[in-house]
């Protein structure tokens, strides 16, 4: 987190840098090689765009609030930072996409920042989380490596998910010598840990009304004393959640009137309708929890990187039908399924009397991971069952329709 006294000086510089196309740069952890990845990129004629989310192969899903909170922090549109476990299971999507970042130092690891999965092997964070200021050299240098641990909570690595070490960093050229000029970055991991956790998308919007009229959510790891209130102490060992409406909306930043805490740097402000999930920016200033907003140029540079880095999911050795999400649901719900070999697949929806009310899949399919949507148009509220059959494999999941 950046010291408050430097805020005015440092936010002046980006006004000149944001007006031009900025090359995307990579830094290789092992070789320390720096090179241009994208020197130009297509910026489509859109006012809004986003990349896709993925629920991951792990079961478990939670609804995030869609109504404005009534118990907001004093003077803010957001509720106060609250341990995730007070609301949700840390193992459920999208909670498990939150990442705790550690740096390596003298054969040990030290906690540093927050991030969030945006593909199976990419983590979105702040640029100052991948660099540090060396007083002797009098310049910013890159951290040799970072450790990313998803769904970290209660001071422990989550046994349900793998951690990953950084392979390279991606950032914009204007931040090469000072991370604050465009304080947003992507970490590429050596291991595709997001296959199991899933990930959220990223997005941009040119419409300020979108930011005024919608709720936003935050998952982060505050890690020290709140400088605005010394009674508020955080240890960096717990995943926190808060949400609400934004208090700050301008050309470069979005935020809310709660002082940011070191350790939250790099955490995302994300939007969801409990179907799509996408980050609109990352935390980099403590005052008003300022998040650098993803603009159109940033988005399309990152989008090209994301689309080129989504790995093929590992095909499990067994057939699999996930729980429906959301469930209970209103109107539509989704299920994932896996077939480890080419085979005929039948997936149908039954009512409580055992009658088929909808056929979702009835065809020969190649091996792989699939996702389907069940739209409950013209069906009454009640209990239904989704049944999958492929070869000798049969699996049934209960779903509840609430209109």
- Token digits of residue 180: 């604050």
- Domain of 366 in residue numbering reads as 320-401
**Which three-class secondary structure state does DSSP give residue 174?**
helix
Give the CATH number of the domain where residue 179 resides.
Answer: 2.40.10.10
Omega within 30 of 0 (cis) for the link into 328: yes
What's the confidence (pLDDT) of residue 40?
A: 67
User: Per the domain annotation, does 354 fall within a domain?
Assistant: yes
Q: What are the residue ranges of helices labelled H in 206-252? A: 208-213
**Which three-class secondary structure state does DSSP give residue 250?**
coil
Pair 28, 125 in one domain? yes
**Which three-class secondary structure state does DSSP give residue 337?**
strand
Pair 292, 332 in one domain? no
Q: Are 313 and 57 in contact (CB under 8 A)?
A: yes
* CB-count burial class (<10 Å; 0-12, 13-18, 19+) for 357: middle
Q: Which of 235, 238, 203, 204 is nearest to 219 (CA)?
A: 238
- Structural domain ending residue among the three candidates 252, 276, 309: 309
User: Per the domain annotation, does 167 fall within a domain?
Assistant: yes
Number of neighbouring beta carbons within 10 Å of residue 233 = 12
Pair 238, 384 in one domain? no
Q: Are 287 and 1 in contact (CB under 8 A)?
A: no
CA distance 289 to 255: 5
What's the confidence (pLDDT) of residue 14?
A: 36
Number of neighbouring beta carbons within 10 Å of residue 386 = 25
- Token digits of residue 327: 């469930």
Locus of tokens 């920042």: 113
Pair 216, 338 in one domain? no
Give the CATH number of the domain where residue 391 resides.
Answer: 2.60.40.2550
Pair 327, 300 in one domain? no
CA distance 287 to 228: 10
Pair 95, 61 in one domain? yes
CA distance 326 to 343: 27
What's the confidence (pLDDT) of residue 19?
A: 39
Pair 294, 347 in one domain? no
Which regions of 263-355 does DSSP assign to beta strands (E)? Answer: 268-272, 277-285, 290-293, 320-321, 332-339, 343-351
- Cα R_g (the chain), whole angstroms: 22
pLDDT tens for the chain, 403 residues long, are 443 333 333 333 333 333 357 899 999 999 999 999 987 666 678 999 999 998 888 888 888 999 999 999 999 999 999 999 999 999 999 999 999 999 988 778 899 999 999 999 999 999 999 999 888 888 889 999 999 999 999 999 999 999 999 999 999 999 988 888 899 999 999 999 999 999 999 999 999 999 999 999 999 999 987 777 778 889 999 999 999 999 999 989 999 999 999 999 999 999 999 888 999 999 998 888 999 999 999 999 999 999 886 655 555 567 888 888 888 898 899 888 888 889 999 999 999 888 899 999 999 998 888 889 999 999 999 999 999 999 888 888 889 999 8
Pair 64, 13 in one domain? yes
User: Per the domain annotation, does 345 fall within a domain?
Assistant: yes
User: Per the domain annotation, does 315 fall within a domain?
Assistant: no
What's the confidence (pLDDT) of residue 41?
A: 67
User: Per the domain annotation, does 11 fall within a domain?
Assistant: yes
What's the confidence (pLDDT) of residue 123?
A: 99
The length of the chain in residues reads 403
Pair 130, 275 in one domain? yes
Locus of tokens 């009137």: 257
Pair 249, 177 in one domain? yes
Q: Are 58 and 266 in contact (CB under 8 A)?
A: no
* β-strand partners of 202: 279
CA distance 390 to 361: 11
Please, which residues have CB within 8 angstroms of residue 18's CB and are 6 or more apart in sequence?
Answer: 182, 252, 295, 297
CA distance 140 to 305: 25
What's the confidence (pLDDT) of residue 43?
A: 66
DSSP 234: -
Q: Are 267 and 298 in contact (CB under 8 A)?
A: no
Transcribe 94-107 into DSSP letters.
TGGGEEEEEEEETT
Q: Are 13 and 174 in contact (CB under 8 A)?
A: no
Q: Are 114 and 221 in contact (CB under 8 A)?
A: yes
End-to-end CA distance of the chain: 45
Pair 81, 222 in one domain? yes
User: Per the domain annotation, does 314 fall within a domain?
Assistant: no
What's the confidence (pLDDT) of residue 39?
A: 78
Our count of domains for the chain comes to 2
Helix (H) or strand (E) holding 9: helix 7-10
Pair 300, 329 in one domain? no
DSSP 384: E
- Token digits of residue 176: 């090469």
User: Per the domain annotation, does 208 fall within a domain?
Assistant: yes
């Amino acid at each position: 987190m950046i010291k408050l006294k430097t805020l005015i000086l440092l936010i002046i510089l980006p006004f000149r840098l944001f007006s031009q196309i900025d090359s995307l740069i990579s830094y290789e952890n092992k070789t320390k090689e720096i090179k241009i990845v994208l020197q130009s990129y297509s910026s489509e004629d859109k006012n809004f765009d986003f990349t896709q989310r993925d629920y991951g192969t792990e079961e478990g899903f939670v609804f995030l609030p869609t109504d404005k909170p009534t118990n907001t922090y004093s003077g803010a549109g957001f509720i106060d930072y609250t341990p995730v476990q007070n609301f949700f299971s840390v193992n459920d999507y999208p909670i498990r996409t939150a990442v705790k970042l550690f740096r390596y130092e003298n054969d040990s690891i030290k906690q540093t920042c927050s991030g969030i999965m945006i593909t199976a092997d990419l983590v979105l964070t702040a640029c100052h989380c991948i660099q540090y200021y060396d007083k002797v050299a009098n310049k910013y240098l890159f951290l040799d490596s970072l450790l990313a641990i998803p769904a970290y909570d209660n001071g422990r690595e989550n046994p349900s998910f793998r951690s990953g070490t950084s392979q390279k960093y991606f950032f914009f050229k204007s931040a090469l010598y000072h991370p604050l000029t465009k304080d947003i970055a992507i970490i590429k991991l050596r291991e595709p840990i997001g296959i199991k956790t899933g990930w959220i998308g990223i997005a941009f919007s040119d419409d300020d009304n979108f930011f005024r009229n919608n709720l936003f959510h935050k998952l982060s790891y505050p890690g020290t004393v709140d400088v605005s209130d010394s009674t508020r102490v955080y240890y960096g060992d717990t995943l926190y959640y808060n949400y609400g409406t934004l208090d700050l909306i301008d050309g470069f930043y979005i935020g809310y009137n709660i002082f940011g805490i070191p350790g939250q740097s790099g955490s995302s402000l994300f939007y969801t309708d409990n179907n799509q999930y996408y980050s609109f920016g990352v935390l980099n200033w403590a005052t008003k929890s300022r998040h650098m907003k993803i603009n159109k140029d940033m988005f399309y540079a990152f989008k090209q990187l994301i689309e080129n880095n989504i790995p093929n999911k590992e095909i499990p050795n067994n057939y699999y039908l996930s729980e429906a999400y959301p469930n209970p649901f209103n109107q539509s719900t989704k299920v994932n399924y896996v077939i480890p070999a080419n085979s005929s697949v039948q997936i149908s929806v039954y009512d409580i009397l055992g009658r088929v009310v909808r056929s979702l899949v009835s065809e020969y399919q190649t091996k792989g991971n699939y996702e389907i949507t069940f739209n409950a148009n013209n069906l009454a509220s009640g209990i239904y069952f989704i049944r999958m059959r492929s070869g000798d494999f049969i699996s049934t999941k209960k779903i509840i329709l609430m209109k």
